[in-house]
């Protein structure tokens, strides 16, 4: 049975969270829990008279790294459990006397160790570091230790869970945390210019996906939206990504679609001092640009028994690319037709950030950690668009291969058929996260607590939308035939802060079949503020009377609609 106390809140229309008071269980609740604990203690005492407690730790013999997700069972009985964080396990209610304990871990042969159980007994295990098992689908080797760990953690999970390991993430050209999940069953992505941004789980809208970083809630600040954009987080500093599709009672109920927990690297993932550096390059055929990507990691363990660890992992990337589209602006009808057109983008995306970790394992029963991260993502897009408005006109000539159509005049001018639009958008986003917590094992009790803080902010401050339209009927290639039609300037800022405190306590029960009772509490407060202002201008500056004063010519890579384009640099200088 699992019991969790939770204090929830509702964000009002202003975007602010009402003040939350202290959580105070009633006297009736206190008596109820006291009764449950009394029954548990009496039942446990009866079983404990003829049984003992078996504890221990499982590590890799070559690296001495803890193995999570190892199945530990007592031969000939139904008793089994899985190793948790730090490779620790606890098996209560083991019959006193000689027993055989079986350790099972995908990637190694099963290990059977004898033990004489008497009261509280400790049994540690080491898997051989050089063993390799060849299976039908894959071979577990040293380079795939992360994948093996993920497979075992999935097997040990008590709910529907998928885990993507760091070596799986690094084997593909994924740019951010969202893209790293695109190969997981039941996961799809909402993309922007071909790059994943939001996570869609089980077919539900991405607004219903809850995101955590190292177990702490992750904020998302987009105006009028509760979704969390993951394109701001690069994949280089990630240890694993955990996808929980069905939450258990001891988890927060936020997220109807499911939960995603992004875990950064730990210094205890390595045996001692470890460092790596990677340099990559990408080439975009549409823009003809080479762009760099650099990332590295340094971790070390220190202390008399290497019980302390420190890790730093910086990353930096600039990506220049583009896209070409032919789109329709709506559905076709009997009388009305959509405004078709040609769109092409020039995009620059810059990511940089750093993750820090400071951890301590004074002994097998204690674990303390501090994880901090900073990530910045700047998305700059210049969208050039050629709308074609299909208007009424007279058919002057018609043949089997072509037609000549003259548009009707409107107030002495030819109807505006062709136009040029330029949208300039620069969005700068920053994420700062901090998680501090610890775990303490005391006999049959396991206590865990954590404090998390995340702030997500973004700024949009640039000329947003410029449009020029034809005023006469010559060729669409004539830049002087387009006049300034209007400009829209949009300034927008947004910030969301999330603060949470969690505490959990678990007690393993000394019963015939493995069982435990777990309870805890969660306090969470969020504050979201946003502001947007839009200015619409009907006239341009004196030196921009037509497109001829602010053109960069047609796009040479897309000759099908070779209309002149608006020069983004001229617009930036003007506004």
The set of residues, in sequence order, having a beta carbon less than 8 Å from that of 106 and lying 6+ positions away, is: 140, 148, 151, 152, 155
Average pLDDT of 100-109? Answer: 87
Residue range 96-117: mean pLDDT, rounded:
88
Q: Which of 144-158, 326-340, 417-431 shows the lowest per-residue confidence on average (mean pLDDT)?
A: 326-340
CB 69 within 8 A of CB 155: yes
Q: What is the pLDDT of residues 366-408, one digit of tens each?
A: 899 999 999 999 998 888 887 776 555 667 777 777 766 666 5
> Which residue's entry shows tokens 């105006």?
223
Which tokens hold the place of 200? 């869609």
Contact between residue 349 and residue 375 where contact means Cβ atoms under 8 Å apart: no
- Among 109-123, 279-293, 388-402, 499-513, the range scoring the smallest mean pLDDT is 388-402
- CA 46 – CA 35 distance, rounded (Å): 17
Please indicate whether residue 114 or residue 107 has the higher confidence score (pLDDT).
Answer: 114
How much is the pLDDT for 147? 60
Cβ-in-10-Å burial (0-12, 13-18, 19+) of 491 comes to middle
**What are 8-12's contacts with CB under 8 Å, separation 24+?**
8/524, 9/524, 9/525, 9/526, 11/526, 11/528
* Residue 94: both structure tokens together: 């083991």
**Which range has the worst mean pLDDT, 94-98, 296-300, 425-429, 550-554?**
550-554
**Among the listed residues 369, 371, 359, the one whose alpha carbon sits nearest the alpha carbon of residue 307:** 359
Q: Quick check: 312 and 341 in contact, CB under 8 A?
A: no
Q: CB neighbours (10 Å) of residue 203?
A: 8
Regarding beta strands 209-213 and 195-201, do their DSSP bridges make them parallel or antiparallel, or are they unpaired? unpaired
Q: How confident is the model at residue 93 (pLDDT cuts 50, 70, 90)?
A: confident
pLDDT of res. 141: 44
What is the band of 18 on the pLDDT scale with cuts at 50, 70, 90?
very low
Report how far apart, in Å, the C-alpha atoms of 316 and of each of 166, 278, 353, 393 are: 18, 11, 7, 55
For residue 270, is pLDDT > 80? no
DSSP string spanning 131-145? ---B-SS-B--GGGH
Cα–Cα–Cα angle for 436, 438, 442, rounded to 5 degrees: 170
Token duo for residue 31:
């008596």
User: Angle CA(256)–CA(261)–CA(267) in degrees, nearest 5?
Assistant: 170
Prediction pTM value: 0.73
Percent of the chain with pLDDT over 70: 73
Helices (H), 90-156: 145-156
> Is the distance from CB of 144 to CB of 205 less than 8 angstroms?
no
Strand segments, DSSP code E, in 15-105 are 51-60, 71-74, 80-82, 88-95, 97-104
* Burial (0-12, 13-18, 19+ Cβ within 10 Å), 249: exposed
Alpha-carbon gap, residue 395 to 408, rounded angstroms: 11
Instruction: Please tell me the distance from the alpha carbon of residue 385 to that of residue 116, in angstroms, as a whole number.
Output: 78
Pairing of strands 366-388, 419-442: antiparallel
* pLDDT at residue 21 greater than cutoff 60: no
Residue 433's pLDDT is: 92
Question: For 338-356, what is the mean pLDDT?
Answer: 77
β-pairing, 125-127 vs 51-60, is parallel
Q: With b meaning 16 or more CB within 10 Å and e meaning fewer, what string describes 298-332?
A: ebbbeeeeeebbebbbbbbbbbbbbbeeeeeeeee
Burial of 565 (0-12, 13-18, 19+ CB in 10 A): buried
Rounded (10°) CA dihedral 59, 62, 65, 71: -30
Given the structure tokens 């650099």, which residue do they identify?
Answer: 294
Nearest CA among 252, 258, 164 for reference residue 206: 258
Q: Could you give the CA distance from residue 513 to residue 48 in angstroms, rounded to a whole number?
A: 13
Can you read off the two tokens belonging to residue 225? 């939206």
Confidence band of 337 (pLDDT split at 50, 70, 90): very low
Q: 136, 571, 558, 28: which is closest to 343 by C-alpha? A: 558
Per-residue pLDDT at 408: 57
pLDDT at 31: 57
Q: Which of 35-49, 149-163, 225-239, 483-497 has the lowest mean pLDDT?
A: 35-49
Q: Of the ranges 164-178, 424-438, 480-494, 558-572, which is most confident?
A: 424-438
CA atoms within 13 A on the CB side of 124: 10
CB 543 within 8 A of CB 513: no
Mean of the per-residue pLDDT values of the chain: 76
């Amino acid at each position: 049975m699992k019991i969790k106390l939770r204090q929830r809140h509702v964000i009002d229309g202003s975007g602010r969270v009402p003040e939350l008071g202290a959580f105070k269980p009633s006297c009736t609740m206190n008596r109820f829990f006291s009764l449950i604990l009394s029954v548990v203690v009496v039942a446990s005492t009866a079983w404990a008279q003829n049984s003992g407690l078996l504890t221990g730790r499982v590590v890799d013999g070559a690296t001495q790294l803890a193995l999570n997700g190892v199945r530990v069972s007592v031969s000939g009985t139904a008793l089994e459990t899985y190793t948790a964080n730090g490779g620790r396990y606890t098996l209560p209610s083991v019959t006193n006397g000689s027993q055989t304990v079986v350790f099972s871990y995908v990637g190694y042969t099963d290990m059977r160790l004898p033990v004489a159980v008497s009261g509280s007994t400790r049994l540690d295990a080491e898997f051989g570091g050089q063993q390799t098992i060849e299976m039908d689908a894959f071979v577990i080797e040293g380079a795939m230790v992360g994948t093996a760990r993920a497979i075992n953690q999935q097997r040990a999970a008590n709910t529907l869970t998928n885990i993507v390991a760091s070596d799986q993430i690094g084997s593909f050209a994924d740019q951010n945390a969202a893209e790293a999940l695109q190969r997981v069953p039941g996961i799809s992505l909402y993309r922007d210019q071909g790059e994943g941004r939001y996570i869609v789980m089980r077919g539900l809208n991405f607004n219903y996906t809850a995101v955590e970083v190292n177990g702490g809630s992750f904020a998302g600040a987009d105006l009028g939206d509760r979704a969390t954009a993951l394109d701001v987080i690069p994949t280089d500093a990630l240890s694993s990504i955990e996808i929980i599709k069905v939450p258990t009672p001891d988890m927060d109920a936020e997220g109807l679609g499911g939960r995603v927990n992004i875990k950064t690297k730990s210094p205890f993932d390595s045996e001692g001092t470890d460092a790596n550096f990677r340099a990559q390059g990408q080439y975009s055929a549409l823009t003809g640009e080479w762009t760099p990507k650099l990332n590295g990691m340094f971790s070390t363990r220190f202390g008399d028994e290497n019980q302390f660890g420190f890790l730093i992992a910086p990353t930096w990337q600039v990506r220049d690319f583009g896209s070409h589209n032919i789109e329709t602006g709506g559905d076709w009808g009997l009388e009305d037709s959509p405004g078709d057109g040609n769109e092409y983008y020039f995009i620059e995306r810059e990511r940089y950030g750093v993750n820090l970790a400071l951890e301590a394992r004074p002994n097998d029963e204690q674990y303390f950690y501090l994880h901090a991260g900073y990530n910045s993502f700047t998305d700059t897009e210049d969208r050039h668009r050629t709308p074609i408005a299909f208007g009424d006109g007279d058919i002057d000539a018609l043949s089997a291969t072509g037609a000549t159509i003259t548009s009707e005049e409107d107030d002495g001018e030819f109807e505006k058929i062709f136009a040029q639009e330029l949208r300039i958008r620069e969005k700068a986003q920053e994420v700062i996260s901090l998680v501090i917590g610890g775990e303490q094992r005391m006999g049959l009790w396991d206590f865990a607590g954590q404090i998390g803080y995340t702030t997500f902010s973004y700024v949009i401050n640039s000329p947003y939308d410029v449009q020029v339209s034809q005023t006469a009927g010559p060729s669409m290639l004539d830049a002087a035939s387009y006049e300034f039609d209007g400009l829209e300037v949009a300034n927008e800022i947004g910030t969301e802060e999330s603060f949470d405190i969690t505490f959990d306590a678990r007690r393993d029960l000394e019963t015939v079949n493995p069982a435990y009772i777990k309870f805890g509490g969660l306090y969470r407060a969020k504050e979201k503020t946003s502001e947007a202002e839009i200015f619409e201008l009907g006239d341009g500056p004196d030196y921009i009377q037509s497109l001829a004063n602010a053109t960069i010519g047609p796009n040479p890579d897309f000759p099908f609609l070779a209309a002149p384009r608006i020069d983004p640099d001229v617009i930036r200088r003007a506004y």
